[in-house]
Amino acid sequence: MYYNLLEEEKMIKEVAKNLAEEKIKPLREEMDRKSYFPPEIREEFGRSDLLRIFVPEEYEGLGMGTMGMALAIEELSIVDGGCAAAFAANGLGATPLVLFGSEEQKKKYLPLIASGEKWVAFALTEPEAGSDAGNVKLKADKDGDHYVLNGNKIFITNGGEADYYAVIVATDRTKGMRGLSAIFVEKDTEGFSFGKEEDKMGIRAAPTRELVFSDCKVPKENLLGKEGMGFMIAMRTFDRTRAGIAAQAVGIAQGALTEAISYANIRKQFGKRIGEFQAIQIKLAEMATKVEAARALTYLTARYIDSGASNISKISSQAKLFASDVAMEVTTEAVQVLGGYGYMKDYPVEKMMRDAKITQIYEGTSEIQKLVIARELLKEDLRKK
Ligand code: COS
């Protein structure tokens, strides 16, 4: 409403909204209950242009960057944070390729990703490498024309579902985070399999799975960038995709706010619609103001990233930090507005509250975002001196 969106941005928003309302909403409750990502939803994504948004035009994409992704993720999240997470994680998996892939790699993989024929996942997390992202143990030893991967990754969104995996590996374990590299692994590679499937609190439509590598031989030409660039590739990827998580948080919060407003207009207590009580009005006003502030910061961040600026870490972390807190607050308040009904699965707000929680955790916890923000503030000050 306030954001002077371009015509193509309005179109993408509309496409995402329609897909969410017409295809995702009817399956939402079932996907949440059964914790699964239906093939027909994957196909619908492929039929829409949404998977082209983050792919540059020369590789059959729309080249709409972070703002396009933010708008699509927000619209999907209004209806279902789970399908939005699968979609966002696909963009996350493709980002190292877009940023650091060679011409040959991009030509080979990106058109297939743009059409939705192939899905992607990003694999960094390990049992001992969560917030401490530099502590990756999955080793990749060079052997002739291949790297041989041994180890595992956990909590991988789109694990099992994706056809390609951008995997952060240790090519030189003597160098710590400077010995990490990023490598693109295809699903059917020998020695690559899938382990534990997670049973999550929220975003249950998004598959989350362990990846297991056992003497898995990956061609050397699948290395993204150069050896030793893995940690930097992961950080530069997150600098962009954290804006997408902010958009997911805005969408989840908006979904809950909309439900709370509709309910306040219908539900009667003490002979009045509850929306007539100031106690409820104050809640709705505070919720709506927080959502708009989170949206404004998220869009500003996306526009700043798309401007080509290099110092995007701080604003991206600020957007994710703020919007994810808003998502948690607003969904919790929405449950409160709906009262006992809000606590029941007959209404979607309890699910939204469960979905919101992950936005404070994945792609860097809120505590890690604060650390990134504070470090950048201190560096900016030193640069002035
Ligand atoms: N872009 C480019 N380079 C970056 C960077 C960025 N955004 N952030 C850090 N780097 C570089 C640093 O410049 C540094 O290189 P030099 O030593 O050559 O200067 C190197 O990477 C190490 O950075 P740093 O010293 O800041 O690493 P730390 O281990 O102290 O902290 C944090 C890094 C904690 C910020 C990082 O590990 C992080 O973001 N963790 C959370 C990871 C995460 O999101 N996990 C969830 C995955 S679920 S998808």
* pLDDT-derived band at 259, boundaries 50, 70, 90: very high
Residue 70 makes CB contacts below 8 A (sequence gap 6+) with 243, 244, 246, 247, 298, 299, 302
Q: Beta strand 146-157 with 192-197: parallel, antiparallel or unpaired?
A: unpaired
pLDDT on residue 385: 87
Our answer on whether the CB atom of 63 is closer than 6 Å to any ligand 1 atom is no
Check if the beta carbon of residue 274 is closer than 8 Å to that of residue 268.
yes
End-to-end CA distance of the chain: 41
Residue 98 belongs to domain with CATH number: 1.10.540.10
Tokens of 352: 């939204």
Do 245 and 359 touch, CB atoms closer than 8 A? yes
Whether 241 and 266 map to the same domain: the answer is yes
364 lines ligand 1 (CB under 6 A): yes
Q: How many domains does the chain have?
A: 3
User: How much is the mean pLDDT over the chain?
Assistant: 97
Structure confidence at residue 103 (pLDDT): 98
Q: What's the pLDDT at 97?
A: 98
Residue with token string 């890690």: 368
Is there a single domain that holds both residue 367 and residue 347?
yes
Domain ranges, residue 180: 121-228
Please tell me the distance from the alpha carbon of residue 290 to that of residue 24, in angstroms, as a whole number.
Answer: 26
Ligand 1 atom 43, closest CA? 364
Task: Ligand 1, residue 155: give the atom nearest the CA.
Answer: 48
25 CA to centre of ligand 1 in angstroms:
37
The single residue listed with the structure tokens 């789109």 is 158
What pLDDT does 192 receive? 98
Ligand 1 centroid from CA 368, angstroms:
10
pTM here?
A: 0.97
- Does 107 lie in the same domain as 71? yes
Whether 247 is in a domain gets the answer yes
Same domain, 165 and 265: no
Query: Which ligand 1 atom lies nearest to the CA of residue 132?
Result: 37
Looking at the domain assignment, is residue 310 inside a domain? yes
Token couple for 15: 């496409």
The answer as to whether 1 is a domain residue is: no
Report yes or no on 346 lying in a domain: yes
- Does the beta carbon of 238 sit less than 6 angstroms from any atom of ligand 1? yes
3-state class (DSSP) for residue 151:
strand
Looking at the fold, whether 203 and 326 belong to one and the same domain comes out as no
Last residue of one domain, picked from the residues 196, 228, 260:
228
359 Cβ below 6 A of ligand 1 = no
Q: Which tokens belong to 236?
A: 């530069």
In the chain, the amino acid numbered 162 is A
Indicate which atom in ligand 1 lies nearest the CA of residue 312. Answer: 7
pLDDT reported for residue 218: 98
Contact 255, 79 (CB under 8 A): yes
**200 inside domain:** yes
Dump pLDDT digits (tens) for 338-353. 999 999 999 999 999 9
User: In this structure, are 335 and 195 located in the same domain?
Assistant: no
Q: Any idea what the Cα angle at residue 207 is, between residues 203 and 212, rounded to 5°? A: 135
pLDDT tens for residues 303-327? Answer: 999 999 999 999 999 999 999 999 9
Q: What is the average per-residue pLDDT within 15-21?
A: 98
- Residue 2 belongs to a domain: no
Of all residues in the chain, the percent with pLDDT exceeding 70 is 100
C-alpha count within 13 angstroms, C-beta hemisphere, residue 145: 2
Q: Considering 228, 247, 276, which residue would you say is the last residue of a domain? A: 228
Q: Are 250 and 212 within one domain?
A: no
The token pair at 318 is 């600020």
Please check whether residues 112 and 125 belong to one and the same domain. Answer: no
User: What is the band of 141 on the pLDDT scale with cuts at 50, 70, 90?
Assistant: very high
- Give a yes or no: residue 207 inside a domain: yes
Instruction: Return the CA Rg of the chain.
Output: 21
Give pLDDT tens digits for 40-81: 999 999 999 999 999 999 999 999 999 999 999 999 999 999
Query: d(Cα 8, Cα 52) in Å, to the nearest integer?
Result: 13
Does residue 1 carry a pLDDT above 80?
no
Looking up tokens 């969408």 gives: 251
Strand ranges inside 114-191, DSSP E: 120-123, 139-143, 146-157, 164-170, 180-186
Residues 146 and 173 occupy one common structural domain: yes
Q: What angle do CA 37, 163, 124 make, to 5 degrees?
A: 90
Point out the catalytic residue in the list 363, 367, 376, 380: 363
Do 14 and 114 have their domain in common? yes
Of 95, 158, 235, the one to substitute when testing ligand 1's pocket (max ligand atoms within 8 A of C-beta) is 235
Instruction: Residue 81: name the closest of 373, 358, 368, 365 by CA.
Output: 358
Residues 215 and 265 in one domain: no
Centre of ligand 1 from the C-alpha of residue 133, in Å: 7
Residues paired with residue 151 on neighbouring β-strands, in sequence order: 213
Q: What is the dihedral of CA 173, 176, 182, 188, to 10 degrees?
A: 40
Quick one: which of 221, 247, 278, 252 has its CA closest to 330? 252
> What CA–CA distances, in Å, run from 291 to 72, 123, 175, 205, 284?
17, 30, 43, 24, 11
CA of 14 to the centre of ligand 1 (A): 36
**Which residue CA neighbors atom 12 of ligand 1 most closely?**
232
Q: Name which residue sits closest to atom 15 of ligand 1, judged by CA.
A: 232
Contact call for residues 211 and 192 (beta carbons, < 8 A): yes
**Residues 110 and 126 both lie in one domain:** no
Q: List the structure tokens of 255.
A: 């979904």
* 117 assigned to active site: no
Cα(238) to centroid of ligand 1, in Å?
10
pLDDT at 300: 98
For ligand 1, the distance from its centroid to the CA atom of residue 243, given in whole angstroms, is 17
Q: In this structure, what CATH number is given to the domain that contains residue 155?
A: 2.40.110.10
